Structure 1
Amino acid sequence: MSTTAPTLRLVTTASARRGRREPAPQEHVVAVTLQPDEKLLLSVPEAARRLGISRSLFYEFIAADKIQTVHVGRLRKVSPAALDQFVDSLPTPHAVTGRQERPNHTLHVLERSW
């Protein structure tokens, strides 16, 4: 069974200067091969990048048992399924009100007299 990866062809042309006629620009072709991400396990930085968060915040989620990881030798790895479970566990907007449930935080402002 042979699968071919889709290819993308980028073509650029030079812009012509005003008032002067230039010879036809040469075509520059760049061949790009796109491959699907088929990794079974991700490193912590890769997993954090997928979620769009910092590596340190990702480690905080691991410490709080919000994201499950596995050890492969001395390496800590994350499965894409564990990322899906974490995202599914996040609060979702209420269907009735259309507003997302938010924790009740109080903002403390320190006033300073100079």
Structure 2
Amino acid sequence: MPDEELVELKFRLYDGTDIGPFRYSPASTVAMLKERIVSEWPKDKKIAPKAANDVKLINGGKILENSKTVGQCRTPFGELSNTVLTMHVVVQPTLAKAKSEKKVDEAPRKSICRCTIL
């Protein structure tokens, strides 16, 4: 596969640091990108994904689906040649953690209205 067909991507983390850039085939899936991000994640970060499902990739303001390919995700920026595309990485909480936080939020709250109608 010729070098010019490859797409060069870097991944911007929550604190502004980057992973990459790396070159990918346009046929590579978002799921493959997420696996690479998890394997390359810096060890010194407080927040770290445990699996590829803990990562969301954002490009052009849209959350990318795992089944999409790099070729599909790079538009409308794909027409730019010799550039490194930056995708933003968000680590989402695991399902168990999200459920425990939700239970705390659903605790009954006492609301007292002290309105006076004249």
Q: TM-score range by the shorter chain?
A: under 0.3
User: TM-score, normalized by length of structure 2?
Assistant: 0.23
Give the structure-1-normalised TM-score: 0.24
| Highest RCO, 1 vs 2 (Cα 8 Å, sep ≥ 6) | 2
Larger Rg, first or second structure (1 or 2): 1
Higher helix share: 2
